[in-house]
Structure 1
């Protein structure tokens, strides 16, 4: 039977966005991400896991075979393990069950996960905007089955190299690398300062 379950029960250790430091809201801090999933056309289950850094608006994306929590966690780990720790502090998800394995990534990489309030997509406006950019290339109803990882990365690269008014007409990549340089100059491990662009 499809009995009703208590909200939030599906996501273990769910920390609400109200507990996220208020400084994250201002976008002055760097290394705070928003997370989501872009769904392809049925009957395929293939999706795109997206992670967007709030200050720079830089987008990271990976194809995943389905919207399962484990596939999502694997994609997140692949993305965040390539980013130096000072540049990946936390991320904010909606309440979809695809994020229910977030602790695997949190514990492996020392990150935190926060959850937006239900029906409050505006609390993850950066990611919603970046996903909208992806949809310009891959409109709703598009199957992702025939697309390669390189195809997706080409789209992401173009998005990250497009100047934005909100960034004073700089590109997300320009802001990302400047901010990355700042946080890495404050660490004692300069050998970790190289971050992959994808």
Structure 2
């Protein structure tokens, strides 16, 4: 670096290219300096070095993205993170001499996996009836250079059929994980129709890509237009201290979810904490019932509404109900007397002990966002929402739907 000096005139140079600075920056990077340290020595902003390495989107409207800096502006001597053309020539010569991968790696000072991956990815397939692979160094260099430019076209954007399938499921309010597992089951022999759920999230939330329309993010459970790294703790309502049967006295058969007859319940609160509806989830099958509360959430109103829904099932399918310590269940003794269903209460601040119900209430927020005036939705509308959720596949059920599992288990037990 003795032949390079930081320019003293630090005023902006306009569109003048920093050719010497860029060459010096890459020489420092190849010598093992970090990007930030190399930028400091050369006298450039760290963002400039990042653009040189990775390329960037041009800020001008309609202009093409700028690819990474070409290898012709770098010094080809010394070590590098990537294989150089002279190293690929050495690999080709040694492979013709039948040298092993570990021998070549040792000669080049590379890991054996680097040489193995190079031969696998950049070899050329020749021949007709009996094709074989030949490693051609200049063709391999061209393949490697073609893969470097960023940004790349996403897998979803490059496959219209895949994009259409994902968009269709998002419109039906499926989660990305549910879509991914559905794709795997529907297209088992077509790898081009399979992605991971993070790819779907990035396609929805990325501001620099247009694989999926950003408006589809509203179909997700959260409905957010931007990703949120963590959830904030939820504020809980005051508990009541009337005599109640605690969760540790619930039958042991409810814990292993082997018998489909134990339910979890809670309220979903509407706009201004003035409206609500009740949710009942069967622990084994995750089958959901939504109970309208058009007359409010006073204990007597809640007791009457829950009793009318639970009595629609035979006693063999309603052996217990688990609730939190919300004041709406202060009439639990009268509810048990009316229905014969014992009510068990979770300890304070223990929502995970009613995990199935908490998860289902999160699903319902796709249909009834916070601030929704719940009484405008009559029981018929709530039943339609419950039916749609009951026919949505669940990971915990092996991607069966709650309706399928509930029908199977209840038929078997009867």
Aligning the two structures, in what range does the TM-score lie when normalised by the shorter sequence?
A: 0.7 to 0.9
Match of residue 118 from structure 1: 348
> What root-mean-square deviation, in Å, do the aligned CA atoms of Structure 1 and Structure 2 show?
1.5
Q: Find the counterpart in structure 2 of residue 106 from structure 1.
A: 336
Q: d(CA) in 1 for partners of 2:403 and 2:386?
A: 11
Within the candidate set 303, 307, 318, 1:88 is matched to: 318
1:53 lines up with 2:286 in the alignment: no
Shift of 1:146: 2.3
Q: Tell me how many residue pairs correspond in the alignment.
A: 175
**What is the alpha-carbon distance in structure 2 between the residues aligned to residue 172 and residue 152 of structure 1?**
17
1:40 aligned onto 2:270: yes
Partner of 1:68: 298
Counterpart CA distance in 2 for 1:77 and 1:105 is 7
More helix by share: 2
1:8 Cα offset (Å):
5.0
| Partner Cα separation in structure 2 for residue 30 and residue 146 of structure 1 | 32
2:260 equivalent to 1:16: no
Q: Is 1:47–1:66's contact at 8 Å kept on the other side of the alignment?
A: yes
Counterparts of 1:180 and 1:106 in 2: how far apart (Å)? Answer: 23
Q: Structure 1: how far apart are the matches of 2:249 and 2:380? A: 37
Q: Deviations over 1:85-129 (max 9, x none)?
A: 100000100000101111222122211110001000000000001
Deviation at 1:148, TM superposition (A): 2.1
Distance 1:58 1:97 in 2: 25
- Could you report, residue by residue, the CA deviation over 1:55-109 in whole angstroms, capped at 9, with x for unpaired residues? 0000111111212111111111111110111000001000001011112221222
SS of match in other structure, 2:284: coil
Give 1:23 deviation, angstroms.
Answer: 2.8
SS in structure 2 at match of 1:162: coil
Q: CA deviation at 1:46?
A: 2.4
Distance 2:345 2:377 in 1: 30
Hey, what's the Cα distance between the residues in 2 that align with 1:8 and 1:97?
Answer: 6
Q: Give secondary structure in 2 for the equivalent of 1:82.
A: coil
Structure of larger gyration radius: 2
Cα pair 1:46 1:63 within 8 Å, conserved: no
- Uncovered stretches (5+) of structure 1, i.e. residues with no partner: 1-6, 186-198
Q: Which has the higher strand share?
A: 1
* Structure 1 length-normalised TM: 0.83
- Greater RCO between the two (CA within 8 Å, min separation 6)? 1
How far off its partner does 1:145 sit? 3.3
